[in-house]
Structure 1
Amino acid sequence: MKPSRRVLLAAAAAPAFAGLAAPATAAGWSLPPEGGVTETEHVWIPMPDGVRLSARLFVPDTASARPVPAVLEYIPYRKRDGYRGHDSAWGHQLASRGFAYVRVDVRGSGDSEGVQVDEYDVPELDDGVAIIDWIARQSWCSGAVGMRGISWGGINTLQVASRRPKALKAIMALGTTDTRYGNDAHYVGGALGHTNLQWGIDFKGVMAGPPDPAVVGPAWETMWRQRLAATPPIMETWLRHQTNDAYWKRGSLDQDWGAIQVPTYVVSGWQDSYSNPVGRILTHLKVPKKGLIGPWGHTYPWTAAPMSLDWAVEEVRWWTQWLKGVDTGIMAEPMLRAFMPYATWAESRPQEIPGRWVAEPTWPSPAIALRVFHLAPGGLAAKPGPAHTATYVGDRVVGLTKPEWIDRPPIDQALDDARSLTFDSAPLTDDLEILGYPTFKVRIGADVPVAKLAVRLTEVTADGRSWLVTYGLKNLTHRQSDSDPAPLEPGKLYDVEFPLFMTGYRFRKGSRIRVAISENLWPLAWPSPRIATLSLALEHSRLSLPVRPQESAPAPFPIPIRHAAADTASPAPAVTTAPVSPGHYRIELNTPPAPFTWPDIKTTTARGHWETVELTEGQPNSGFWRQQATSAWTRDAWDCEVTATIELKSTETEFLLTESLTARQAGQVIFERSEDTRITRNLV
C-alpha cells in the first residue's frame, strides 16, 4: 500500500519533528555534527521525452566546494503541500549531515508535468533512472546516489533499483513489497481485498490533483485539465487482473531476485502488512543487505508512537557506508533486528508494547526450528490424531475483530473465535517465542467450486481473552498457483500449504495457542460467490511455528530509542461488531475534512474520507463496498477540489463497479465523469 493510508499521512503531514537526530555513537562511528543547508523550493528536471519533473533540493552549504553524495525520494504525494513537513525535516537531516536530498514528484503528480494513469507505470520507472542520472551529473553531487522511501517510495525504490541505474549505489526501502499481486494493496491470498478500494479512492485523488500555479505558472489549469481527462477508472483496471498475470508481475522483485545489484536495507513494523516481505527479501537477495522490523504500523521509525527510533543515526550511517565508502561497522552487525513483543499491540495500546529487540546474524536463521502442532478433535496436539473430518459452514460473518489489511487494529478475537473452528493447545509450561513465517498445512475440500480458507493464530491468555498474533487467507482455487487458479471439485480433498504473515511474538507461560479457522474474513476480503461448506481431514492438518530460542543476554541495540508518553493523541478507531439488524452488518468510517494551512506557503489543504461496507449473513452477494474522498487546495484565488467515489457490488458471476470523478474550481464544476462496469469473476 501507499502513504495515502491515514496513519502514514498523519505522520508525514506534520510540519516538523523536533530533535530527530541527537548525536550518537554506534560501533565506533559517530553521527557527524550538523552543518548549513541550502534549500531550493523548485527545480525542473528534464526527461528524455521532454516532460519536466519538479524537484525540491536540500544541499549542504559546502557542496559547491566539495561535492557530496545524494539521496533521492521519488513519490506522487505532492512535495509542495502534501509531504512538505516530512520533506523539510528529513531533507535538513540528511543535508546537514553531508548528503544532498532530492525530492521529486512523480510524472503527472504534484507539480510535475505529464499525466499519471497507474502505479509504478513504465514511464515512472524510466523517469526514475533518468532522475538518478541527472542527479549524478550535478556540480554539487559526487556522482554517488542512494534512493529511499516508504510505501510507494519503498516499492518504486526496489523497482528502479532493479533497472540498475549506473549511479545508484545503495537503497533503503521502508514498508515495501517484493510482489505487487501477493503483498500489496489489492489481493490477499488470491482474494479481492477491501484495501483495493481504499487505496483506489486515494489514488484517484493523487492522479487528479492540480499543480500549484506558484510553481508551474499560468500553465497550471491546462495541466490540471489534462490530468483529469487522463485519470482512469483505476479500480476497473485492477479488477480486470484477478490473478498474478503479466500486469502484476512487471515490477515484482520476486520475478527476478538478481535484478537488484546494490546494497539494500528493508524496514517495516509488525503492525504493518508490509512487514511480511522483509523475510523473503533478506532470504533471496544476493547483495549486502539488512532488515529491521519494529513495533509500529505503516509509518516511519522516527514518527512511531509511543516508541520511536532516532533514525538519523542509522540512516546516515548506512549512506556513509555505501555512498562515501567509509566503513562505519554497520555491515558487521546482525542482518536482521526485530522487536520481540511480549503482548499484542491491541492489548497494550495506548501504552508502549512490552518486549525487547532481538538480532539474527543471518536470515533465515539457523537457530530457528519448527515446532509442529497437529489439529485434532480435542485441540492442538504434539502428534497427529485419529482420522477425523471436521466441517465448517461459511454462512457467518467472521472478521469483524480483524477488519482490515492495514490501518484498523484487531481487537479481542472472542467474537470471531465463537464463529470459527478453534483448536487450542494445552497451557504453555514456558514462554514460547517465534520469529518468521508460521505455516499451515491442511487436507481440505469444499462443496462449491470457489471457496477460501482463513486461519488466525491467537494467544488465549489466562483470563480467557484471545489476541491476534498473525493470520493467513487463501483462495483455495489458488492452491497451486496465483497465476493459474483452478476450481475446486466438490467432494474432493486437496493438500494445501501456505504461510501466515511473518511475525515475531512471545506466547506467555500459562497461555494457550489457538488456531481459528473460517471460510473468509470480512470486510478484509470480498465474499466467495456461494456459501461454502469446508471439510478438513484433521489427521493431515497442522500448524508449524518458527520457534526462536531465547538468548542468554539481550542483544545490543545501537540505534537510540525514544520512549514517549502513552499514545493517547491517536486513539484506536472504534470497530463495529454489532449488526444493524439481525444478520445485517454495516461499518461506516467517516472522516470529515480538517483544513490545515502551511504557514510558509500560505496554502490550505483539506481531505475528507467516507467509507461504508455492508453484508448480510447467508447472502454472499449482498456485499457492498463504498468509498468517497474529497481533497481541496486553496490560496487566495486558487481554489480547487476533487471528489472521487467508488462502489462495488457482485452477483455470483460478476462484479458490478461504479467509479466517478468530479472536479471544482472556485466552487464550479469543471469536470465530471462516471462509469459503470460489469467484470466477470475469475474464481474470486
Structure 2
Amino acid sequence: MTKNGKPGFWDNLIAPKGGLFGAQLAGWTPGPAARSGLGCRVLADQMIEVAPSIALAADVYVPRTEGRWPAVIAFSAYSKELQAAGVPAGNNESGSPPVFTDRGYAHVIVTRRGMGRSGGEDAVYLNDTDVEDHARVIQWAAAQPWCDGQVVLFGTSYYGLTQPQVARLRPLALKGFFTNEMCTDFFRHIAMFGGAPQPDFFALWMGANFTPLQFRLHLPPLLRAVVSHITNSALKHLWWPQLKKRMTRIMRTFERQVPTPQARKLFAGLMLDGKTRETSVLPAGPSGALGDIEVPFVVVQNAGYLNLHQFGAYDLFENAGTPRDKRWLIIGPATYDLPVYAWQLEALAFFDHLVYGADNGYAAQPRVRYWTEGTKDYRSASDWPLPSSSPLRLYPASNGAGAATHRLDRAPGTAGTNRWAAVPLGAIVTAGFDEVENQRLTFELPVEEEMELTGPITLCLSFSSNEIDSYVVARTGLIAADGGYQILSMGAIRPACRRIDAARSTLTEVAIDIDVPEPLVPGVPVTLRFSLTPQPVVLKPGERLVLDIASRTDLLRSDVSHGHAQFDMQVPPYYARNTLHYGPDTYIELARAGEARSDFHV
C-alpha cells in the first residue's frame, strides 16, 4: 500500500524549529506532558495508495527517538510544502511539526488528490472521494512501523473542516479529533453569507492557494528547516505586527493572482450557478449527519471570523453523537495570526489524555470554556447555550432623523420608522452623497449595571424596501468609557430569502432557506429573523452597547489588523431606500448569563 523510500541524505541535516504563537490554553495549566524532549525528523514525500494507480503525498514528522507513536493527521487540499517552514501563509494551518514530535507524536501532513505530488485529478473541494481517501490515510498511518496504531486529527480551517467529515465514517484507528475554525454546512457557512455569494473570500482563497505555482511547488526538507529557524525565532514578535498592519493590502495582491483553470471554473460555478443547495458545486457537509460521530473531540471557535467559519462549531457541539462528557467547546478570543500556531498545547493536553491515558486534568475540564471580552478572562459552563442564561430583549427606537444616534430600550416603544440608503458596493454616487443620505442606522444602550452577555444573538426586524430585494447587515459593538470602539458580532440576511429552515437550525443559529426567494413588495413590511455571531462579553457601567444596521459589510468594517477576518460582499443588488419599522416585532435578543459558572483568570 506504500511506495516509500528512505529519507534523503540532506533531509534531516538540520531539524526544523517549532513554533508556538497565539492562544494555546483555554484558561488552565495541564499536568505534566506524557512525553517530552524527543526532537524531530522528517520522512518526506511518503506515498499513500488510496486507489489503483493513485497515491497521495505526505510528509511524516516523527521523534528522533526510535519508537512507535500515536499519529496526528492533518488532511487538506493545500500544498504540504510550506507547512513546516512557518511562513505566514493562509494555508499554513496544520500546526508546527516539531511541537508534536517533541511530545511523542508522529505528525502526518497529507495533500489530497490532484495537488502537488499527489496523484489523481483535482476536483471540487471537500468531496466524498476526499473523505474516503482521508479514512484510508488514517488506516495507513495506523499500520506504519512508526505508529502505535492510534490516530488523532488536528488542524484549522480546511484542516478542521475535514475532521467531522471523516469521523462520520468511523475509521477503526481514529481515537478523537481537535478541530479549529470549522464549518458543518458548506452551503450556508462558506459559499453563501446571509443568502449572497462570497466573491471576496473565494477570489482571495483561490488566488492564494490554487495557482499553478502552488500545484508545482516543491521545497526540500532542508530548506524548510532553515526557513523555520527564521520564521519561528523571537523576531516574529517584531515582524508579525508590521506585516499584520499591511495584511489587507497583501490580501488584495493575492486576489489578483490567477488560479488554475479548474479553480476558476469552480469560482464561476459558485458565483453564477450555486444559488441553491441543488445547484451548488460544493458538497453539503456533515451537518444533519453529525450523530454518526462517536469519538471524543474538542472544537474551538475563533470569535474573530465574522462571515466565515461561524456556527459550525456550535452545530458540531450540539448535534454530534459523541457522549456528552467526551466533547468540549472552546470559544477563544478574536485573533488573526499566520501561520495558525494557536491551540497546539491545548490539543496536546487533550491527546495525552486520550491516547496516552495521562492524568493531566483534561477529563475534569468543563465542557464549555469561553473567552470573555470586557474582563479578558476565560469562563466556563456545563453546556452551550449556558444553562443559567436568560433572554434579554432590547428594542430599537428612534431619536429622530435616520443619521442620529438612536436608542435601545428594554420595552417596545411606539410605532415609527427610520430609513437608510442601500447603495451597491462600488456603485456610482455623486460627490458628497453621504452628507445628505445616511447608509446605516446606529442604536445605543448605556450600561448602568455590570452584566455578562454570553450565548446566541438573534435579530428580528420589521423591514421594508422600495425595491424587490436588498441586503441587511447588522453588528454589535462596545464603546468603552474612554470612547474606544470594539466590534463584537455580525450577521446578515438577504430579505428576499427570509424563510427559516427549522430543520437545519440549531440553538445558536437561525438557518435561512434561500433556495426559493420571495421578492419583496415595495413598501410592504416583512419580518427578518437571523443570527449574529456569538461573542461573550461583560458590559460595565459607563460603557455603551451598540447595534449598527446597514446594507454592506464594508460599511461596518473591521479587518485583520484588529484581529477580525471579514470579507466584503457584492451587495446590495439595487439602489434602494430601506425602512426599519419600530415596535414589538423589531428587537435584538441576547443571552444574559446568570451566576452558575466558574472563572479561569489568565
TM over 0.5: yes
Counterpart Cα distance in 2 of 1:195 and 1:63:
44
Helix, strand or coil: the match of 1:503? coil
**AA aligned opposite 1:449:** I
1:245 to 251, 272, 278: 278
Q: Say yes or no: does 1:330 pair with 2:343.
A: no
1:386-429 Cα offsets, whole Å, 9 max, x none, are 22233333248799xxxxxxxxxxxxxx999963122222x211
Do the aligned partners of residues 317 and 442 (structure 1) sit closer, same or farther apart at CA in structure 2, a change above 3 Å counting?
same
Partner of 2:19 in structure 1?
17
**AA aligned opposite 1:169:** K
Partner of 1:371 in structure 2?
392
Counterpart Cα distance in 2 of 1:364 and 1:512:
24
CA displacement at 1:170 relative to structure 2? 0.5
Counterpart Cα distance in 1 of 2:436 and 2:74:
41
Helix, strand or coil: the match of 1:476? coil
Partner of 1:108 in structure 2?
114
Do the aligned partners of residues 285 and 116 (structure 1) sit closer, same or farther apart at CA in structure 2, a change above 3 Å counting?
same
Do the aligned partners of residues 460 and 314 (structure 1) sit closer, same or farther apart at CA in structure 2, a change above 3 Å counting?
closer
2:467 to 428, 448, 453: 448
Partner of 2:575 in structure 1?
531
Counterpart Cα distance in 2 of 1:75 and 1:461:
41
| 8 Å contact from structure 2 (residues 83, 96) kept in 1 | no
Counterpart Cα distance in 2 of 1:419 and 1:199:
29
1:469 to 470, 474, 488: 488
Partner of 1:294 in structure 2?
332
1:43-93 Cα offsets, whole Å, 9 max, x none, are 1111223212111112245554xx332110112333224553379973222
Counterpart Cα distance in 2 of 1:46 and 1:337:
40
Partner of 1:391 in structure 2?
419
1:192 to 194, 197, 203: 197
Helix, strand or coil: the match of 2:186? coil
Q: Say yes or no: does 1:422 pair with 2:442.
A: yes
Counterpart Cα distance in 2 of 1:313 and 1:214:
28
Partner of 1:282 in structure 2?
317
| 8 Å contact from structure 2 (residues 93, 339) kept in 1 | no
| 8 Å contact from structure 2 (residues 124, 281) kept in 1 | no
Do the aligned partners of residues 505 and 300 (structure 1) sit closer, same or farther apart at CA in structure 2, a change above 3 Å counting?
farther
Helix, strand or coil: the match of 1:281? helix
Counterpart Cα distance in 1 of 2:339 and 2:595:
25
Counterpart Cα distance in 2 of 1:543 and 1:236:
36
Counterpart Cα distance in 2 of 1:505 and 1:383:
22
Moved more, 245-254 or 286-295: 245-254
User: Map of 1:256-655 to 2, 5 A cutoff?
Assistant: 256-273=289-306, 274=309, 276-287=311-322, 288-299=326-337, 303=341, 311-326=343-358, 328-342=360-374, 355-378=376-399, 379-395=407-423, 419-425=439-445, 427-462=446-481, 466-480=485-499, 481-522=513-554, 524-539=568-583, 540-549=585-594, 555-556=599-600
| 8 Å contact from structure 2 (residues 395, 587) kept in 1 | yes
CA displacement at 1:280 relative to structure 2? 3.1
Helix, strand or coil: the match of 1:34? coil
RMSD (Å) for aligned C-alpha atoms: 3.5
| 8 Å contact from structure 1 (residues 266, 291) kept in 2 | yes
CA displacement at 1:293 relative to structure 2? 2.4
| 8 Å contact from structure 2 (residues 425, 571) kept in 1 | no
CA displacement at 1:498 relative to structure 2? 0.9
**AA aligned opposite 1:80:** E
The higher relative CO (CA closer than 8 Å, separation ≥ 6) is in 2
Unaligned residue ranges in structure 2 (runs of 5+):
1-15, 87-91, 222-258, 400-406, 428-433, 500-512, 555-566
Q: Say yes or no: does 1:183 pair with 2:194.
A: no
Partner of 1:80 in structure 2?
81
Partner of 1:58 in structure 2?
61
CA displacement at 1:500 relative to structure 2? 0.6
CA displacement at 1:206 relative to structure 2? 6.7
Counterpart Cα distance in 2 of 1:525 and 1:375:
25
Helix, strand or coil: the match of 1:233? helix
| 8 Å contact from structure 1 (residues 279, 502) kept in 2 | no
- With structure 1 as the length reference, what TM-score do the two structures score? 0.66
1:355-386 Cα offsets, whole Å, 9 max, x none, are 11111222221112211101222421111112
Partner of 1:41 in structure 2?
44
Counterpart Cα distance in 2 of 1:156 and 1:417:
46
Do the aligned partners of residues 82 and 72 (structure 1) sit closer, same or farther apart at CA in structure 2, a change above 3 Å counting?
closer
Counterpart Cα distance in 1 of 2:576 and 2:94:
53
Counterpart Cα distance in 2 of 1:551 and 1:38:
48
Do the aligned partners of residues 246 and 237 (structure 1) sit closer, same or farther apart at CA in structure 2, a change above 3 Å counting?
closer
Do the aligned partners of residues 200 and 37 (structure 1) sit closer, same or farther apart at CA in structure 2, a change above 3 Å counting?
closer
Partner of 2:502 in structure 1?
none
| 8 Å contact from structure 2 (residues 352, 358) kept in 1 | yes
| 8 Å contact from structure 2 (residues 195, 494) kept in 1 | yes
Do the aligned partners of residues 301 and 503 (structure 1) sit closer, same or farther apart at CA in structure 2, a change above 3 Å counting?
farther
Do the aligned partners of residues 536 and 230 (structure 1) sit closer, same or farther apart at CA in structure 2, a change above 3 Å counting?
closer
**AA aligned opposite 1:92:** P
Counterpart Cα distance in 2 of 1:154 and 1:298:
16
CA displacement at 1:462 relative to structure 2? 4.1
| 8 Å contact from structure 2 (residues 552, 571) kept in 1 | yes
Moved more, 138-147 or 168-177: 138-147
CA displacement at 1:157 relative to structure 2? 1.6
| 8 Å contact from structure 2 (residues 30, 361) kept in 1 | yes
Helix, strand or coil: the match of 1:459? strand
Counterpart Cα distance in 2 of 1:246 and 1:147:
31
CA displacement at 1:30 relative to structure 2? 4.1
Counterpart Cα distance in 1 of 2:481 and 2:313:
32
> How many corresponding residue pairs?
497
- Of all paired residues, the percent bearing the same amino acid is 21
**AA aligned opposite 1:446:** S
**AA aligned opposite 1:444:** F
Counterpart Cα distance in 1 of 2:95 and 2:341:
11
1:596-619 Cα offsets, whole Å, 9 max, x none, are xxxxxxxxxxxxxxxxxxxxxxxx
Helix, strand or coil: the match of 1:430? coil
| 8 Å contact from structure 1 (residues 398, 520) kept in 2 | no
Do the aligned partners of residues 420 and 398 (structure 1) sit closer, same or farther apart at CA in structure 2, a change above 3 Å counting?
farther
Q: Say yes or no: does 1:122 pair with 2:122.
A: no
Counterpart Cα distance in 1 of 2:468 and 2:260:
41
Partner of 1:577 in structure 2?
none
Counterpart Cα distance in 2 of 1:235 and 1:295:
31
Partner of 1:611 in structure 2?
none
Counterpart Cα distance in 2 of 1:252 and 1:80:
27
Do the aligned partners of residues 398 and 339 (structure 1) sit closer, same or farther apart at CA in structure 2, a change above 3 Å counting?
farther
**AA aligned opposite 1:17:** G
Counterpart Cα distance in 1 of 2:112 and 2:347:
23
Do the aligned partners of residues 518 and 28 (structure 1) sit closer, same or farther apart at CA in structure 2, a change above 3 Å counting?
closer
Partner of 1:662 in structure 2?
none
1:560-615 Cα offsets, whole Å, 9 max, x none, are x7xxxxxxxxxxxxxxxxxxxxxxxxxxxxxxxxxxxxxxxxxxxxxxxxxxxxxx
Do the aligned partners of residues 416 and 131 (structure 1) sit closer, same or farther apart at CA in structure 2, a change above 3 Å counting?
farther
CA displacement at 1:122 relative to structure 2? 2.9
Unaligned residue ranges in structure 1 (runs of 5+):
1-13, 216-226, 305-310, 343-353, 400-413, 562-684
